[in-house]
Chains A and B, each alone.
Chain A
């Protein structure tokens, strides 16, 4: 019998520490896995903690999706106490989520994915961040401005760049001054031009080439939120959709469709049709059809159709989302209620012993489900994280890709190339190792 040989290599240019694990049986690739080497155990940490203490703890799950983690937790807690945050707080939360998305997407696109796109599509090798920054100084300067834009939104409205202070259960403790609103508005207007430059740059560089077919997505289910058919990351119904069927349900009924074991990695979907799921920008686009909107039709028409089947398309959608959300944020800043002073509701009495919060983080669907006792202590916490949902698909696609590559190429090259595929998914390992 041939012995299995195990190869483990840390994946580079991703958020956090993840490994590629390859099992070789003789010369054949038996198994490929994107492995999260350590689970920190936040679901255990939350046990016995007071409900109102939870948002501050879960923010520390991820330094990139911190606003999503805090806000989703606030939503779950508000569900427990049966309170509604004032309209101004909801606007502020949406703005904070936008700041986080801009920063997260642009960092992934430029530092992690852009060198891969150049390599895969243009056969241009970029070996370090300095070469990358010199590739197009205008692009680099725009990228730094957009990182700054996302960061400043979170600092001004949330209190600091990461692990926001202002987000509490019941609302957001902040009433923005007109000066701050104007400051962010100016940055957003500048950012909108930068985002356009990036999209046009993408079209110029890549749109007339075909992405390699090995990056094409198989038949999959798309998972995401939809607010009556339109793109909304703060609230909506859960949609699971493929070419034939569509399920549309409230997050309260999630257990009919999927569930997870506490402290164990992975989410199990009951609708077992052997089709993997994807969540994130691609699913959001498929579910809510951003491409159909007039605003972006011009950009989408310029992209070669073959791109739309590829996982590399996610990079383009990230740029589109940045542009779209900048415009949404400008609209939110014009809301009259934004600089009015509202009293936040007290948490008051517990209305029910469990609560569920849901939203779309930059990388896809994020859900928290807490069960508590009468002393306001958590007795069970389930955290559903986007990257956990995407990992089975990552493994499925990388295995196929690795086998194809290994017919002609040595295992070292195979490792490097499957890392490119993993990076295209924008996995958030900090979140996944919760």
Chain B
């Protein structure tokens, strides 16, 4: 039994949960999880501005940080948290990849990993409940977070019709309402001319959007390297219509190319 396991047996893990620039959606999801009451019981939430009054940072076993970096004082804050916590995890796509704010022309949201070393990410906008719950269980047992290294297509219910050469013309970002609603819609989005980022997006959400007729928009990030470069490479393989090609809502939806300051 190592020190950490011994500590786990006799003392509750001290947890810090904080949100920086974000929508609080990850924290809202945390409250909804089946295991949330047990999570509260098994740990000691010592710093969580959403529900605690604690003013000063202490020392923590695990820090979960939600949100991206948009201001300088936040860099200082997460650096302090890094010093105060044994392990730091990025919670959600904003903290892990940069997040939705990158769609803005005036602002840039940086992932935490641009400024501090993180021990793992719990991606998703919001993190899928199963994945989030499993990650929390792993953290409580002092295990690493395991994320799939396969893409959405691997578990996609529509993969039968996948056109591996991507010959179809992609003209739409979202199918028509009639097509979404039709029960016969069992063809891969890409072969129907609808842009789906599933091929460059990590699996782990049980294909929730695709199952409901909405193509994947990449919120879980890429299984390898940066989401941004993967999207660029992927789009270069496709025959895109001018409308899709010039639309500025695809590339930066969850990340911008990272430049380390």
Q: Contact: B181 with A64, CB < 8 Å?
A: no
B40 to chain A, nearest CB (A): 7
Decide: A168 and B177 in contact? CB cutoff 8 A: yes
By a CB distance below 8 angstroms, the chain A residues around B20 are: 17
Over the window 342-355 of chain A, the binary record of Cβ atoms lying under 8 Å from chain B Cβ atoms (1 yes, 0 no) is: 01111100000000
**CB distance B21 to A12 under 8 Å?**
no
A2 lies within 8 A of chain B by Cβ = no
Check B176 for interface membership: any CB of A closer than 8 A.
Answer: yes
From B21, B53, B180, A40 is in contact (CB under 8 Å) with B21
A344 contacts B100, CB within 8 Å?
no
A-B pairs with lowest CB-CB distance, top 7: A63-B25, A151-B32, A63-B28, A161-B32, A344-B177, A111-B51, A63-B24
Known interface pairs A161-B32, A165-B209; 10 further A-B residue pairs with C-beta atoms within 8 A, sorted by A's residue number: A13-B51, A40-B107, A41-B107, A57-B249, A60-B125, A159-B208, A161-B29, A168-B214, A173-B212, A345-B177
Return B239 CB to nearest CB of chain A, in Å: 19
**Is B49 interfacial (CB 8 A cutoff)?**
yes
Residues of B within 8 Å of A17, CB to CB, are 19-20, 49
Majority DSSP secondary structure for residues of A touching B: loop
B28 in contact with A45 (CB, 8 Å): no
Could you tell me if B24 and A344 are in contact, using CB atoms closer than 8 angstroms? Answer: no
A64 touches B248 (CB 8 A): no
Q: Which residue of B lies closest to A85 (CB)?
A: B177
Interface size on B, residues (CB 8 A): 57
Residue of A nearest to B28 (CB): A63
Q: Which residue of A lies closest to B250 (CB)?
A: A53
Contact status B53-A44, CB under 8 Å:
no
Q: Which residues of B contact A (CB under 8 A)?
A: 19-29, 31-32, 34, 36-37, 40, 44-45, 48-55, 70-71, 99-101, 103-107, 125-126, 128-129, 173-174, 176-178, 180-181, 208-209, 212-214, 217, 247-249
Q: A387 — which chain B residues lie within 8 A by C-beta?
A: none
Q: Of B31, B45, B107, B212, which is within 8 A of A165 by CB?
A: B212
Are the C-beta atoms of B24 and A160 separated by less than 8 Å?
no
Known: A165-B214, A170-B177. Is A57-B103 also a contact (CB below 8 A)?
yes
A-side contacts of B21, CB under 8 Å: 38, 40
Known: A171-B177, A345-B177. A161 touches B51 (CB 8 A): no
Residues of A within 8 A of B214 (CB): 165, 168, 173
Whether A61 sits at the interface, judged by CB under 8 Å, is yes
In the complex, whether A50 has a CB less than 8 A from a CB of chain B is yes
Contacts of B174 in A (CB 8 A): 52-53
Whether A49 is near chain B, meaning CB under 8 Å from some CB there, is: yes
Interface contact B24-A62, CB-CB below 8 Å: yes
Measured CB to CB, the closest approach of chain B to A117, in angstroms, equals 15
Q: Measured between C-beta atoms, what is the minimum distance from B128 to chain A in Å?
A: 7
Chain B residues, CB < 8 A from A48: 248
A-B contact pairs, 21 of them (CB 8 A): A38-B21, A41-B101, A41-B104, A44-B106, A49-B249, A53-B249, A57-B100, A63-B22, A63-B126, A66-B28, A128-B53, A129-B40, A130-B44, A147-B31, A147-B32, A161-B29, A161-B129, A162-B25, A173-B212, A343-B181, A430-B22
Cβ-defined contact, A162 with B126, below 8 A:
yes
A44 & B104 in contact (Cβ 8 Å cutoff): yes
A337 close to chain B: CB less than 8 A:
no
Query: Does A16 make an interface contact (CB < 8 A)?
Result: yes
Known contacts A12-B52, A127-B53, A165-B214; A160/B173 CB under 8 A:
no
Give A96 Cβ to nearest chain B Cβ, in Å. Answer: 14
Which residues on the B side are within 8 Å of A56 (C-beta)? 217
Name the one of A50, A103, A162, A174 contacting B212, with C-beta atoms under 8 angstroms.
A174
Q: Closest A residue to B210 by CB, please name it.
A: A165
* Residue in B19, B20, B103 whose Cβ sees the most chain A Cβ within 10 Å: B103
Do A161 and B126 touch across chains, with their CB atoms under 8 A apart?
A: yes
Determine which of B23, B32, B36, B106 lies in contact with A430 in the assembled complex, contact meaning CB atoms within 8 Å.
B23
- For residue A15, CB closer than 8 A to chain B, the reply is yes
